[in-house]
Amino acid sequence: MLDATALTGVLWIIFFSYWLIAARNTKKTVYRQKLQGRVFIAIRLAVCFALVYLPALSAGWLGVSYIPRTMPSEFIGNIVCISGFFFAIWSRRALGTNWSGEITLKENHQLIQTGPYRLVRHPIYTGLILAWLGTAITLGEVRGLVALVIAFLGLWSKLKEEETLLLRQFPEEYPEYQEQVKALIPFVL
Question: How far is residue 47's CA from residue 45's CA, in Å, rounded to a whole number?
Answer: 5
Question: How far is residue 55's CA from residue 53's CA, in Å, rounded to a whole number?
Answer: 6
Tens digits of residue pLDDT in 144-161: 999 999 999 999 999 999
Average pLDDT over residues 19-39: 82
Question: How far is residue 136's CA from residue 150's CA, in Å, rounded to a whole number?
Answer: 12
Domain count, the chain: 1
In a domain, 87, yes or no: yes
The pTM of this model reads 0.92
In a domain, 91, yes or no: yes
In a domain, 18, yes or no: no
In a domain, 155, yes or no: yes
Tens digits of residue pLDDT in 14-24: 999 988 888 88
Q: State the pLDDT at residue 2.
A: 63
Which of 134, 133, 131, 121 has its CA nearest to residue 91? Answer: 121
In a domain, 128, yes or no: yes
CATH number of the domain where residue 51 is located: 1.20.120.1630
Q: State the pLDDT at residue 115.
A: 95
In a domain, 150, yes or no: yes
Higher per-residue pLDDT: 33 or 46: 46
In a domain, 5, yes or no: no
Q: State the pLDDT at residue 103.
A: 83
Q: State the pLDDT at residue 1.
A: 53
What domain range includes position 80? 35-180
Q: State the pLDDT at residue 33.
A: 80
- Cβ count within 10 A of residue 8: 28
Tens digits of residue pLDDT in 57-94: 888 999 999 998 889 999 999 999 999 999 999 999 99
Which of 138, 114, 95 has its CA nearest to residue 3? Answer: 138
Which of 111, 134, 133 has its CA nearest to residue 122? Answer: 111
